[in-house]
Chain A
Amino acid sequence: MMRILLAALLLLAAVCRVQAQDTPMQAVLQDNADLMVKSSRQTIGPVIDAVVASGLPQVQDVLQAWQAKEMWQRKADGLFFHGEKLDAKTYRLTDFDSGLPVGEFAKGDLRQLKPNSGVRALIGVALVKFQLSDPDPTKRRDALVSLERDPNGAALEALRASIAGETDPALLARKQRLERLLTMGYDTDPAARIAAMEEMAGDTGLDVRATLNPILQARLQVFDGEIPEAMNVLSRLEPGSDTLPVTVAYDLLVEQSKAPALISHDDMRNILAENIDGGRVGGIPVAKLDTDPARRQAFATLVEQGLTEAATTEDEIESYLSDYIFAEVYAEPSRAVTDAAAMALESISTRVGIGQAVDLTLDALSLASIYFLAAIGLAITFGVMRVINMAHGEFIMMGAYTGYVVQQWVPNHTASIIVAIPLAFTVTFAAGVAMERLVIRWLYNRPLESLLATFGISIALQQLAKNIFGTQARPLTAPSWLDGAWVLNDVVAISYIRIAIFVLALFFLGVFLFIMRRTRLGLETRAVTQNPGMAASMGINPGRVNMLTFGLGSGIAGVAGVAIGLFAKVTSELGSDYIVQSFMTVVVGGVGNIWGALAGATMIGFMQKGIEWFNPSNTLAAQTFMIVFIIIFIQFRPRGIVALRGRAAGD
């Protein structure tokens, strides 16, 4: 049975051979068969080139099959086919040249070509030029994406060729942009590259910068004599300058075997240790080798005795370095190209700078709205009522946990947030009223005592939250439509959550102004603030007004908690993270005035972001400096930015 099958196969193979002139692709593949089977990234290049160079219409099919691991070799005769899986053991083979099926074969008779990912990537590059003109727009887009991700000059011609026939306007725009980028990076004609650079100067896209930066990469090189004219030199460096420390320069010489290695401190010690002879090294007792001069002396003796080689001294380093010229040299040989790239990059970086400033402003604005939201309640309780509420942070925390609990019951995130905001307001309003009635009202005009009492409430509430919800962070998930960011360009982007918080802050500013200016409660509050005795004699109940005002301030803290919980983790310490900043906001802004809180929040938000901009890696340092700055600021405006003056200030 086996024999018959084998005979049949041999016969078939013979037939195929005979047809060699009609199967040009198979011929190409057969020429490279060994390299194809044992493919590696290093060796596969010529094979792919050969396949592509055949210029046959089948090239795309072959490469696609190869890349998709669908190319099989028939063990009997070594021919390559496109294999299609029928079931676990059987494959149907199709001939590349004719496109006709050649039959079904058992898996055991076939060998699958398994190109590794590096090889597949190279095949992909070769494929791109076919795919760029593929009738299927999805394939064209995929090809573009892969080329954008891994740009190379080889595809440039194919890309240009494909532009003329492109029908999809979006794809056309992308192709044209990519064409410019590839021209900048890989065109053989410097003039074309420079033209492309001038055209793209001022484009803030990351891809433009990613194309330009490698062109401007320079490498430190050492020259024995003058630098050859042909070299595109960025700058000549003097060893010992800031840009080229002596050690770096010398290491480079050592690396290139142009100077002997320095004997390091450790090396010297080891050499000395190896040469201990009867408790002495070079005549010096070991116990005395605890200073550098003694060690040098012992080492010198060893050198004299020929036991070790002399070490390079400081003077010698100097003379070695003076023999050579150090320069940073561009890999790109054309001066004109590097100049144009540098200019383009400079004009881009100006624009990027502007963009970053805008981005920073937006960032600062959103931080300011968070501080404003956190502080607005405090501005009411501290500013209007002169009560320091250390538990304010815990009201924020209560709001955030309310949001979390609501999400346990209402799975729809949008609905749960809509429920959570008024509920959080209600919960913290009630808590605030209860606290005012039970504690605060006994301590009016005693702000230091109320500070301590509310601190007590604060630690009790915090521990209570720990006992109920545990110490791990709880998620408060934002609705999906708040995910993502509003992207203006590669530099400026702002997340929707922050925009929502900004809107929320504006909303509460409006609500507060409305309550204070247009409602009876606002009128009464202002009256009680300015003159409690008089207000009481006008029939206003100061107790009731204080209670409601305190409740209002606490309620807004609860809503702020929901907002903060959306982007920060909800823990029992959520509130204490914001409390000091909130106090600073109120104090810096000026007490007793909503505009003061707004000004304070804006100033602190902008200042923190501004300091972070100088030292972006270190937010802790930014906060430290900000607080120090605020302490100094208070020197000049002890009553805050928006301050009351004269008798009304109560001094």
Chain B
Amino acid sequence: MQRSFITRNPSVLIFLALLALFTLGVTVLSEAFGIGLISTSYVKVLGKTLCLALVAVAMDLVWGYCGILSLGHFAFFGLGGYMIGMWLMYERTRDIVVGALAEAPIPPTEQEIVDGIGTQIFGVVGSNEFPLIWSFADSLTLQLALVVVVPGTLALIFGWLAFRSRVNDVYLSILTQAMTLALALYLFQNDSGLRGNNGLSGLQNLPGVEQPQSHVSMWFLWASALALGLGYLLSAWIVAGKFGSVIRGIRDNEARVRFLGYSVETYKLTVFTLTACIAGIAGALYYPQAGIINPAEVAPITSIYLAAWVAIGGRGRLYGAVLGAVFVSLVSSWFTGGKAPDIPLGIYTVQWVDWWLVLLGLSFVAVTLFAPKGLGGLVDLWVERRSPNRHGADLGPDLGSLREKEASQ
């Protein structure tokens, strides 16, 4: 029992090694630092995928381990993106405005620069005033703090309200979905202060950075890999200890945990808020690589997709979440990018751009029905782990508990 954390969890070491190997491989093959086999745009795709894997790890923590099927974690992801996007857009626009005003005979005052930035940013929504929420947009440190604070606070308030009144299971899922919808609708408004459905754009340009995008994209890939590694390590450490025991207990049998004297609500709130912060960080790394963020990214459907990735990867195991997110998003970009070959059926040609979503939807059904362990189940086959035989019974009375086929011995 007293062995070290890593030796008890060899999968963490394997995962970190693979991640390091992957990062090294991409670096060697990149245009900026290597032989140029991987284009800059594909480096961005890979970097974004790492961010998605990180948010999937957060989702797995909250759903796979704690049993809360949150349909709101992509909202936290988006909020993180918005927070960093504000700084990027502000500073970038500032550079442009200062450049333009440098031509003027009289040097601009500070106020004139700020007004100029306001006009540039909010012109599309018919305004030129900075809303209150942009107060800190000129400070990288504060916006970076907000990347964690804003999703965290939202999760804290929402979670406190929801858990306190013992909203559980599907009700909780629907409530989180409602929260996400409310946020998306709010952001869609022009007077939300975040440019309505125009969103924030031009985020790929780092202010004050001269290097080309090929370099910048590699930096972000490294940062994303580092964040994923740290996030994974943190999550693995959390679930390996007694805390993990408690939250798995909450997942399978909430009442028992409560009667053991643990405040279930506090634990749920802790996990919910912590994962929201992780999601915010993932979003803050994702959107500078995507270059643009708009309210559609926050819409409820994206959060359901997130849950589906985790399900496909296999919930209740962290590497499963990573597998699911990476697999689905890469395959998805392969299909929708028009790289998949069409299938001629004589009278009709199946074009994957049109049919990919049908296939994806049906594979969600197939995975839930036939392979509850998801892709993680393949690992079980490899290391020859068995599922318990409980004659079809779940591992606990709660609706979020692991199914017999999901568990392993």
Binds B, one of A238-246, A413-421, A514-522, A616-624: A616-624
Q: Are A448 and B111 in contact (CB under 8 A)?
A: no
Known: A467-B354, A620-B188, A627-B182. Contact between A459 and B105, CB under 8 A? no
For chain A residues 285-300, which have a beta carbon within 8 Å of chain B?
286-287, 289-292, 295
Asked if A273 CB lies within 8 Å of chain B CBs, one says yes
Return A636 CB to nearest CB of chain B, in Å.
8
Is A554 part of the binding interface, using a Cβ–Cβ cutoff of 8 Å? no
Tell which of B104, B111, B191, B307 touches A273, judged by Cβ atoms closer than 8 Å.
B104
Q: Complex Cα distance A213/B354, Å?
A: 58
- How near does chain A come to B64, taking the closest CB pair, in angstroms? 11
Stretch in contact with the other chain, from B3-11, B145-153, B157-165: B157-165
Tell me the bound Cα distance from A464 to B107 in angstroms.
59
Q: Tell yes or no: B226 within 8 A of A by CB.
A: no
Assess whether B311 is in contact with A638, with CB atoms less than 8 Å apart: no
Contact in complex: B307, A584 (CB < 8 Å)? no
Contact of A448 among B162, B169, B189 (CB under 8 A): B169
CB of A587 within 8 Å of the partner chain? yes
Are B361 and A458 in contact, CB atoms less than 8 angstroms apart? yes
Residues on A with beta carbons closer than 8 Å to the beta carbon of B175: 587, 631, 634
CB distance from B397 to the nearest CB of A (A): 10
Q: How far is the CB of B131 from chain A (nearest CB, A)?
A: 14
Q: Once the chains bind, are B165 and A638 in contact (CB under 8 Å)?
A: yes
B365 and A453: CB pair below 8 A?
A: yes
Query: Which residues does chain B contribute within 8 Å of A568, judged by CB atoms?
Result: none
B360 touching A292, Cβ below 8 Å: no
- Alpha-carbon distance A635/B165, docked complex (angstroms): 5
Residues of A within 8 A of B170 (CB): 382, 386, 388, 447-448, 451
Cross-chain contact of A584 among B111, B161, B162, B174 (Cβ < 8 A): B174
CB B227 to nearest CB in A, in angstroms, measures 27
A265 — which chain B residues lie within 8 A by C-beta? 112
- Whole-angstrom distance between the Cβ of A237 and the nearest chain B Cβ: 26
Contact A276 B169 (CB under 8 A): no
Say which one of A349-357, A403-411, A437-445 lies at the interface with B. A437-445
B179 touches A273 (CB 8 A): no
In the assembled complex, the Cα of A631 lies from the Cα of B307 at a distance in Å of 22
Rounded to whole Å, the gap between the CB of A468 and the closest CB of chain B is 10
Residue B399 contacts which of A447, A623, A624 (CB distance < 8 angstroms)?
A: A447
Contact B161 A632 (CB under 8 A): yes
From A286, A462, A463, contact of B354 by CB (8 A)? A463
| Chain B residues whose C-beta falls within 8 Å of the C-beta of A281 in the assembled complex | 106
CB-CB under 8 A from B35, the residues of chain A are: none
Q: Provide the bound-state CA to CA distance between A463 and B360, in Å.
A: 10
User: Does A390 belong to the interface (CB within 8 Å)?
Assistant: yes
For the complex, is B304 an interface residue (Cβ under 8 Å from A)?
yes
Interface size on A, residues (CB 8 A): 60
- The answer to whether A456 and B364 touch (CB under 8 A), given A449-B372, A634-B165, is yes
Q: Roughly how many angstroms separate A457 CA and B368 CA in the complex, as a whole number?
A: 12
Asked if B22 is at the interface of the complex by the 8 Å CB criterion, the answer is: no
Q: Within 8 Å of chain B (Cβ to Cβ): is A210?
A: no
Q: Which of B107, B166, B174, B368 is within 8 Å of A449, CB to CB?
A: B368
In the assembled complex, B409 has its CB within 8 A of some CB on chain A: no
- Expressed in whole angstroms, the minimum distance between the Cβ of A505 and any Cβ of chain B is 22
Q: Which of B173-223 contact A (CB under 8 A)?
A: 173-175, 177-179, 181-183, 185-186, 188-189, 191
Interchain nearest-CB distance for A296 vs B (Å): 11
Asked if A460 is at the interface (CB within 8 A of a chain B CB), the reply is yes
Contact residues in A for B104 (Cβ distance below 8 Å) = 269, 273
* Contact pattern, B 350-374, Cβ under 8 Å of A = 1, otherwise 0: 0000111111111111001100100
**Cβ contacts under 8 Å, A289 to chain B:** 106-107
Are B361 and A447 within 8 A (Cβ)?
no
Known: A439-B365, A455-B304, A459-B361. A620 touches B186 (CB 8 A): yes
Would you call B174 and A457 a contact (CB within 8 A)? no
Alpha-carbon distance A309/B144, docked complex (angstroms): 49
Q: Within 8 Å CB of A183, what residues of B?
A: none
Residues on A with C-beta less than 8 A from B189 are 618, 620-621, 624
Q: Is B262 close to A, CB under 8 A?
A: no
Interface centre among B107, B112, B400 (most CB of A within 10 A): B107
Q: How far is the CA of A390 from the CA of B69 in the complex (A)?
A: 14
Report whether B109 and A631 are in contact in the complex, using a CB–CB cutoff of 8 Å: no
Find residues 542-559 in chain A having any chain B CB closer than 8 Å to their own CB: none
Partner of A290, one of B108, B183, B300: B108
B301 interfacial contact with A, CB 8 Å: yes
Interface residues of B in 329-384 (CB under 8 A from A): 354-365, 368-369, 372
How close is A50's CB to chain B, nearest CB, in angstroms?
A: 52
Does the CB pair B108–A448 fall under 8 Å?
Answer: no
Known: A292-B109, A295-B109, A455-B308. A448 touches B365 (CB 8 A): no
Contact of B185 among A292, A453, A460, A623 (CB under 8 A): A623
A454: min CB distance to chain B, Å: 8
Determine if B109 and A291 form an interchain contact, defined as CB atoms under 8 angstroms apart.
yes
A sample of 23 inter-chain contacts (CB < 8 A) reads A269-B104, A276-B105, A286-B106, A289-B106, A291-B109, A291-B110, A292-B109, A449-B403, A455-B308, A456-B365, A457-B361, A459-B364, A460-B357, A460-B361, A461-B361, A466-B354, A467-B354, A583-B177, A587-B171, A623-B185, A624-B183, A624-B186, A627-B178
Given contacts A449-B372, A587-B171, A621-B185, 17 further A-B contacts (CB under 8 A): A286-B106, A295-B109, A390-B304, A445-B394, A447-B169, A448-B69, A449-B403, A453-B368, A455-B304, A459-B361, A580-B181, A620-B185, A620-B186, A621-B186, A623-B185, A624-B185, A636-B165
Question: Which 9 residue pairs spanning A and B have beta carbons closest together?
Answer: A456-B364, A460-B361, A463-B357, A627-B182, A273-B105, A290-B107, A459-B361, A456-B361, A453-B368
